[in-house]
Structure 1
């Protein structure tokens, strides 16, 4: 029996326990995890340092190193995440609907856990904590497969989580961190239908597509983010610059960062140079079309690939358009259905954008950086789905549940 199968069996056993935990016990466990994570701060940061040093030696990109890096502030955020999830309403047991049939049968639709959730992710050790918090609050077991680049960090975080579970008398079987990080083990995980109910990949396009194509287990697909900010002719100079710069530079390594800025040709003529200056001051490399290139000698000519690229770095593509319709056409062609924004004071253009752009999150006069479980009030998130079935956008507690029907009668039989 392989290590992966052994861990799958443990997760399945653990699921039967955590699915029956009362809300009070789950919240108490999450509070304990929050406290323990901070008590183990020094050892977690020391292990993270090993991963960072190895990552630099192995030539990891700036974006991946940023995702990998932990700090006291980020650890505090992870600890706060456990508390936030503990404070959220428990969805399990919620009666979604109820009705009585003409024959007297009473039917209830009740929210239940999915089972064992397999989460595959790259670099980000904070996902380890977020995933555990969300899985346990929803009565699910977690089977986690982090990347080798975060090996030491993930093991340290799981060790801390195990200490909290042991103190609360909850089986650690319900949280499994894959011990075998080989390609063969990954391929095995994709086909562990007997032990895993859903797979959730979090990472770049290559990882997501590998899981989608090779998995025999249902996949909750988190999508790449080729996100756009369109600045319309009526947008104020200050708001247009503020939103575009924030969407690109606030944290460029994440999927809700803007990768392309579309400018109405009039706005570009009036304010484009100021926007370019503001981006250059933040060390952003700009790749623009011919019209954008005329605004600054520091703009690099854009290629077709630039309109498709998820840079996850301080690089942005910039293009002029003649109207809102052309901006929508561009987004339809190159967007990934993640997050799209329009900056405008023209109600008609806002309404057109909202009606005709198909994405998980659409913004009017706000940064795309708000596509996030915490920002939406969901607490921590398991990922951002660009699918349309079951879950879309930031996936919080409800996205990790299913439902069952409970039917009560008084002797009815089918005739």
Structure 2
């Protein structure tokens, strides 16, 4: 895989990317071999680059957002995506970082749900729960690269076939994810899935961000987070939603006006913080389900000026402050990642929706394909 992680003094590259005149006026997409898996399967890396210096790379393994290079207010590039450097680590120590999650993102209680009177048992890889597809989900599948295009936007479309009964889920599913980067710094991610029998689907991207740059010695908890959500879904000790929609007003879960992630992160007087070892909760976005992506979160690093806006068509946003990253994971540039070194902002249906009739349904039927569109939009604050 390409070695761009050390580009921190990237002023010249940013200046070139922002120029006019003879320089390219279109986003560019390229692809190259990324290595092979243990079984000999070849993995592809696709790089999308905009003329403003923003660049992302996607691995076919897990349809993973592997790298996200973003300039600061001085034009210096940093990779804001916390993830592995080597393909072998993604395979041998899967940790969802940057991956496309399916069939069902987040937790399902007891690893089971009932659909049309039939109960389905899923792998239990999170205590009693099933998490992110049950341990052998779409994050550890090598997706097929369908198309790679340059132009007004640079894009890559990947696809996957999930057979009926895979990981216990009903229905054969044809899934796809398309990453599209424009010259303004917006990375659009569109998920789609069609099934031949009723099933449940909840797809998202599990990128973990640090707007100061992955591996920044101060970690990511100085990043400032804003979420337009007046309620969240509290959980029990197994991190399963209780079914309540609880107001954030007067609690550490109130991010409506924006605050640093470390505010309230270690408030042991809040039982929800104790259960999650910090923030690991779903926020019920005030916008609800929308036809087009609308704002779900803003994450900024005041020191560098880097800003990330997350938009989605889905009703929920899981915020995870890297609470289970325990210092045993070695990532890019040999950085040893620890608790609080990154923040996941995962738009999705609510956790355990198949077991909560009052939540927005995750049911997908034949002839009515699943669709989720989300956007990571980066910019720089003065």
Give TM-score scaled by structure 2 length.
0.30
Going by fraction, where is helix more abundant, 1 or 2? Answer: 1
Going by fraction, where is strand more abundant, 1 or 2? Answer: 2
Give TM-score scaled by structure 1 length.
0.29
Asked which structure has the greater RCO (Cα within 8 Å, sep 6+), the reply is 1
